[in-house]
Amino acid sequence: MIKVIFLMLTFNRLQYTKESIEAILCNKYPFHIVIHDNGSTEAGMIDYLREIKEKEPRIIDIIFSKDNLGLSIPTNDFWKNYMHRYQYLGKIDNDTLVPEDGVERLVDIMDHCPDVAICHGHHWYDNTFNPKRLKNINGRLLLKARWGGGCFYLIRSSIVYKYGYIPTCYGKMGGWTRYQIKVRRRGNKIVYAYPLVKVKHLGDIRSCRSEEKNEYREYYKQINETKRIR
């Protein structure tokens, strides 16, 4: 029985989306994916998503929003629809490259460390944490965290059952960090697997493994200039 399902939120960035999907599909551990497109307007984006769903059986559903709903609402809808059928709920950003053992390593942590609520992939610098944050649980070495960024993670369905959904009162993109803080303060662990599951967050300039492409810098520059003119 497949026990892992991921949500991929997409909004434009067609080239990143292709690379991200290709990377996650290189993982051999069994999983499903649901894609939620947040109103993409980039040429070729919608056609590509429809084509890849037809070709790839692990992509079990695709949702097209007319507007950009942000992070919290699509994630909450995804949790609500799938937490009854899967043990672990995940998320992948469409500008994130997951290593080919990434899914298996996160699942291994969740399977063997029952007090871990959320396990993240890591896209920051490797030398910025205190070694005292490392903890051995059931033979698995974990890096304790207050919260994670959210570009690649797994959360237990049981945690969603217990604590509910991401608050939407903080705007389209807010609430995820606050949700993790609530979960942690109630005695659950939020961790990174160690050695780190290193992902590339291509479009996040804060990441040490960012590869922001000039085409997208120019693309969003044009969008911002259009907004100012309006």
What are 70-116's pLDDT values in tens digits? 999 999 999 999 999 999 999 999 999 999 999 999 999 999 999 99
What's the confidence (pLDDT) of residue 132?
87
pLDDT of residue 215: 56
Residues of the chain predicted below pLDDT 50: 223, 227, 230
Copy the structure tokens of residue 168.
Answer: 């939407």
- Which domain, by its residues, includes 48? 4-229
Residue 158 sits in a domain of what CATH number?
3.90.550.10
- How many separate domains does the chain show? 1
Predicted confidence at residue 202, as pLDDT, reads 84
The residue with tokens 């059931």 is 138
CB 165 within 8 A of CB 76: yes
Q: What pLDDT score does 124 carry?
A: 74
Candidates 25, 204, 191; CA nearest to 102 is: 25
CA distance linking residue 36 with residue 40, whole number of Å: 10
Strands (E), 109-188: 116-120, 134-137, 140-145, 152-156
Determine if the pTM surpasses 0.85. Answer: yes
Q: Look at residue 227 in the predicted model and tell me its pLDDT.
A: 47
